[in-house]
Structure 1
Amino acid sequence: MVKIGVQQPAAALKPEREKEKEKAAGGDGAAGAVLLPAGAEEQAPVVQGRRSSLSGVCYLTMGLLVLLLGLVFASMYVYRYFFITQLPRESVFHCGVLYEDSLYSPFKGQLELHEDVKIYIEENYEQINVPVPQFGGSDPADIIHDFQRGLTAYHDITLDKCYVIELNTTIVMPPRNLWELLVNVKKGTYLPQTYIIQEEMIATEHVSDMEQLGSFIYRLCSGKETYRLKRRSTRRRISRREAGDCHRIRHFENTFVVETVICKKS
Structure 2
Amino acid sequence: MAEKKEYHPVGPPQPARNTGGGGVLDHMDTRSNNLPLAWKNWLTKFKIYLKAFNLDKESEDRRVALLLHFLGPECLNIFYSFDVDVDKIRLQTLIEKFTEYFSPKANITILRHTLFNRKQLPNENLDTYITDLKNIALQCNFGNLQDDLLKDIFSWNLNDGNKYIKEKILQEAPSSLESAIKIAKALEMSRKDTEILTGLEANQSISAIQNRSHHQSQSVQSYRSHRSSSRGRPSRRASPEPHSSRHSSPQRFEFRRLQQRRTPPWPRTSAAWLEEYKSGGN
TM-score, normalising length from structure 1? 0.28
More strand by share: 1
TM-score, normalising length from structure 2? 0.27
More helix by share: 2
Between the two structures, name the one with larger relative contact order (CA 8 Å, sep ≥ 6): 1
